[in-house]
Structure formats: C-alpha cells, structure tokens
Amino acid sequence: MTKNSDLLARRERAVPRGVATAYPIFAARAENAELWDVDGKRFVDFAGGIAVLNTGHRHPKVIAAVEKQLALYTHTAFQVVAYEPYIELAEKLNALAPFKGPAKTILFTTGAEATENAVKLARAATGRSAVIAFAGGFHGRTMMTMALTGKTLPYKKKFGPMPAEVFHLPFPVAEHGVTVAESLRALEFLFRADVEPDRVAAIMIEPVQGEGGFYEAPTELLVALRNICDQYGILLVADEVQTGFARTGKMFGIEHSGVEPDMITIAKSLAGGFPLSGIIGRAAIMDAAEPGGLGGTYAGSPIACAAALAVLDVIADEKLLARSNAMGERIKARLAKIAARNDVVPIAAIRGNGAMIGFDIVKSRGAYDPDADATKRVTTAALNEGLILLSCGVFSNVIRILVPLTASDAVLDEGLDKLDRALVASRL
C-alpha cells in the first residue's frame, strides 16, 4: 500500500519545488469536513481546500449533479457549442449580484483568471490603463494578478519586472498601525505623484483580505472608495474569490458594508471543489469587450457549472448563511475562552464575519508583536493532533479557520478541541 513517505519521495522527484505543499500528507478520501490520508489517519479539515469547500467535501447533491452531467457531455468549449448549464448559472448569479441594475456573468476556471479578466473589462469599459490595489491583498499568480497582489514573498520573488500601471495603497489594519484616513491620504498622494485619476480604470479590493490576514475592509474605507470612484469615473472591483458564497454569513463579503461594486470576481466555493470562476458585473461594463476578446478553452466547464448550480441550491436549502453566522459565533466564543488562559501561546485580535475567522499569534499578551515561529509551531502541532489548519498574514502570524459550513457541531467542536491542544503544545 502506498504511504505518505513514498508519495513524498515521488513528489520531490517529479514536481517542481515552486508549488509548495503545506504538509507531508496525501489524501486518500474525504467526506464533508473530514479527510483521511493514505496512511489511514483521519483529520478534521479547517482549511477547506483554501476556502473552496464551503459545502464540504463531496456534498451528495453536488456529486449527483456532476454524475448526471457526466452522462450527457463533459466538454464542447463554450465558444464553439454553448450549453444550458452555463446560461442557467449566469442567470442565477446575476440575480444574486450585490448591486442594483442589470447584471451579466462570464465564467472562467481559476480565481486569477477571473481577476485578470476583470482588469481587461475595466480597461475596455473606461478606456484607461491603471489599476490600484492594496498592500497585503492577494489576487493570483498570473503576471497581472501577481502585480496586483500586495505581498512580495513568496509571490513575486524572481518573477519581475511586474506589469506597469499597477499601484498599491496601505490597507487599514489597527494592529498594524494603519488607519482608514492614512489609506485615503495615500490615495490622494498617489493621484498627485504617480497617476492622475482619469488614467485609473479600477480600484480592486478584497472585502476581507485572505492571504493578507483575514482583515476586513472597514465600511468607512469602502464608502470612501465608492465615492471617489463615482467622482472620477473609476470602477470599483470587489475580489470575492475567498469571501464569496456564504463564508462571511452573507452571499458576498461586500454586502456587509452596503457598498455596491461595479464588478465582483468569484471562484473557490462557487463549485464545491470543481474548477470554476467568474465575474459578475454591471451589464454595460461586461459588454465592453469585443466578441472573442474574452473566454478560455475550459472556461465555464459544463461539469463545473452543474456542480455550481447544485452548490447554490445547497446554500439555500441548508440555510448556510445562517449556519455560517452560527458557526462563527461558536468559534469566536471558544477562542475567547482559550485566549483568556495562560497555558496557551498568546493569541490576539479574534475576528471575522460569519465563519471566516482569523486570530493572531503574538509573542506576549497585551502587546502586538507578531510571532511567525510560534504560528508555524501551532499549525504543525495541529496536524499532529489530526487537524488541517492554515496560517496567513503579512507577518505570517495569523491562523485562519475555513471549516466547511456543512460540518456538524460535533466535528466543529472536535476540531476546536484539537486547536486548543495545539495552542497549548506550541507554548514555549
């Protein structure tokens, strides 16, 4: 029987080191919020394939929809012969658009593909070239999305020069000493020093920074950006790749602010584990590109579209918006109790809407001094406990929780127990 150690040796020989894997285990099977590796060890999954599995591993309704589609056809290329699942999914997503007025949706395969095409559409619609993003933001690994990403290591090292006409602003985080006022002053300075407003096609922002540390964009900032965009004819793009589809307790993270974007990029939990992404945008913007200017051979795969239609049904039928909020409150309450104890590594800034929860690992209580080493000890100890857990953040000191929204309370509590023990084991 194949073992983790055997597969790790084969991986090192066959796969380049540039694609990193967090842990030296290999999946054998998974169900809902549980995963078993090839050595037979069971894990509670608090990573969800990096926010892909809001409806869990292999949800029965998703699998049934995929099996039904498999019996019909698997690929035609939408640009050659179109198919109903793509149209039906676009119609449903348009109805969910977090803005007023007519919407249209185009589908792709990866989150980076969606984000890159959002830039193309913004440029086509405005006739402008520049794009503004935020430090700490993550938007993908293609050349344009890598340029948009506001973190150099590991995403940009050795890959320069970056595409031109991409600018960054500081993202407001109280723990990092950056206020909304400072972010907006930086934008004013940018307009004076580097790029005039009428050359800016779009401002792109994550409603909650994912890789940047699960920090929510303050409503004050989003309102100000909307006003600035309206003043200068700039498009506001919300990157909802990680925040979408019930993770934050609303269908899309931007909805917590009441601010209406012009486009949102979507992916990850859209299709329950099958590769699918897209852009939902105002119809006039979405029609700005010429026919043939957008698309992709596998974009909007009929298999993935069938899965996504089932995912939307599951979110509605199983009331996952309410479930996300209930889970988040349960997680934060447990973390608050843990944080008050002295037998665990110091944690701070427990935060998050819905079940998109993060907290920081620090060197001492009562002060904000990020501890990346202790964070690594926590994720390693969690794996030893049988918990798959991810870290993130510009200082690599944030623990993020992305447990499937379909997890039972029993499995959720079991995972929190494992996290508790990992936090104890990581204290020096």
> What CATH number does residue 139 fall under?
3.40.640.10
Residues in the chain: 428
Q: What is the side-by-side order of every strand in the sheet holding 200-205?
A: 103-108, 277-282, 263-266, 235-239, 200-205, 130-134, 166-169
66 occurs within a structural domain: no
Residue 68 inside a domain? The answer is: no
**Structural domain that includes position 38:** 4-58+319-425
Whether 303 and 356 map to the same domain: the answer is: no
Give the whole-angstrom CA distance, residue 313 versus residue 332: 28
In terms of domains, do 147 and 199 share one? yes
Identify whether residues 308 and 353 lie together within a single domain: no
Give the pLDDT mean for 28-51: 98
Average pLDDT, rounded, for the chain: 97
Q: CB–CB of 207/216 below 8 Å?
A: yes
Q: Are residues 231 and 369 in the same domain?
A: no
Q: Could you tell me the two tokens for 412?
A: 């959720």
pLDDT tens, position by position, 56-95: 999 999 999 999 999 999 999 999 999 999 999 999 999 9
- The verdict on 163 and 278 lying in the same domain is yes
Using the predicted structure, report yes or no on whether residue 1 has a pLDDT greater than 80.
no
Q: Could you say which of 273, 302, 317 is where a domain stops?
A: 317
The answer to whether residues 105 and 45 belong to one domain is no
Distances in Å between the alpha carbon of 254 and those of 75, 87, 319, 342?
A: 33, 25, 19, 37
pLDDT of residue 428: 80
Q: Determine the pLDDT at residue 412.
A: 98
Is the domain of 78 the same as that of 150? Answer: yes
Do 326 and 309 lie in one domain? The reply is no
Average pLDDT over residues 273-289: 98
Q: Against a cut of 0.75, is the pTM above it?
A: yes
Are 300 and 324 members of one domain? no
Residue at which a domain ends, from 258, 293, 317: 317
85: amino acid identity, one letter: P
User: Rounded CA gap, 344 and 363, in Å?
Assistant: 11
Please count the structural domains in the chain.
Answer: 2
- What is the number of H-type helices and E-type strands within the chain? 13, 15
Domain harbouring 334, CATH code: 3.90.1150.10
Asked, for residue 134, whether it belongs to a domain, the answer is: yes
Does residue 67 sit within a domain? no
Judge whether 339 lies within some domain.
Answer: yes
Mean pLDDT for the stretch of residues 383-387: 98
| Same domain? 359 vs 402 | yes
Domain closes at, from 265, 289, 317: 317
